[in-house]
Amino acid sequence: MEKYHPMKSLAPRDIVAQAIDRELKKSGDEYVLLDITHRTRDFLTSRFPNIYEQCLEFGIDMAKEPVPVVPAAHYICGGILVNAFGETTIDRLFACGESSCTGLHGANRLASNSLLEALVFAHRVFHRIKERLPGADMPDLPVPPWDPRGATESDDSIVVSNNWDEVRRSMWNYVGIVRTNKRLERAKRRIDLILQEIEDYYWNFTITRDLLELRNIATVAKLIIACAMKRQESRGLHLNLDYPERQNGKWKKDTILKRNALEPLP
């Protein structure tokens, strides 16, 4: 880390993640090593009890050997614009936590901010919903029996699991820590193709939980890619090598997605 920032391993998390990504791409390794063996076992068990126990489950003793690590991608980090009560631009749709854009954090979300939003905004959302429920219009809508319309049980569930894995790999490889326009275009083509396959599968076979989850995951992936392509700058956790500088004053107008901002999704 001394090559990337004067604070070394204590640099901001986006700097550390990008440095790890660069080193892995240069070496071809699957992980880097985090060495904290200079600390005593008592310190590790008291300061990092959960991490210490988790590592032991994988056969790694933090007190004696380095820990293999890779950066994690925060795909949704303050993406949904809300007001002070967690309300979005869609009536009666609320968002809080890491998916919401409250203005309480910058482009680099910190654990303390996430905790603040998860607790405070969840509490405020609850009270706003509680206020609105007594006067809410709750019509008694009859729900007709599910009509499969000729759909049959699928004997090829590998299609769902394969597409699920492809969405994960496409997002990690092309929309992960370091982005470029070319990588985003590749991801968009693949996700569009997967969404079309899901649509065909949806209308021909009996609905399952895995299929619905896959459709939701692919839809969110499409939205994330669209947002990343609109943001022609680099800021915090969003790094695009084709747009390395910040564009202060312009990014919010161009990149906040509201209702009907994208083409219709399946």
> Which overall architecture, per CATH, does domain 159-255 show?
Up-down Bundle (1.20)
Q: Where are the domains positioned within the chain?
A: 8-69, 80-135, 159-255
Give the pLDDT confidence of 42-94 residue by residue, as tens digits.
999 999 999 999 999 999 999 999 999 998 776 667 778 899 999 998 988 99
Q: What is the pLDDT of residues 114-161, one digit of tens each?
A: 777 788 899 999 999 988 888 767 677 888 887 777 666 766 677 788
Q: In angstroms, what CA-CA distances link 192 with 44, 58, 98, 162?
A: 46, 37, 25, 15
The 10s digit of each residue's pLDDT in 198-211 is 888 877 777 788 88
Quick one: average pLDDT of 97-111? Answer: 74
**pTM reported for the whole predicted model:** 0.74
pLDDT on residue 154: 67
Say how many C-beta atoms besides its own lie within 10 A of residue 241's C-beta.
12
Catalytic, 13? Answer yes
Same fold for the pair 8-69 and 159-255: no
- 8-69 — its CATH code? 3.90.700.10
Q: Are 94 and 88 in contact (CB under 8 A)?
A: yes
Contacts of 4 (CB under 8 A, 6+ apart): 11, 15, 16, 18, 19
Name the catalytic one among 13, 22, 128, 186: 13
Mutual orientation of helices 181-204 and 209-230 as an angle, nearest 10°?
A: 150
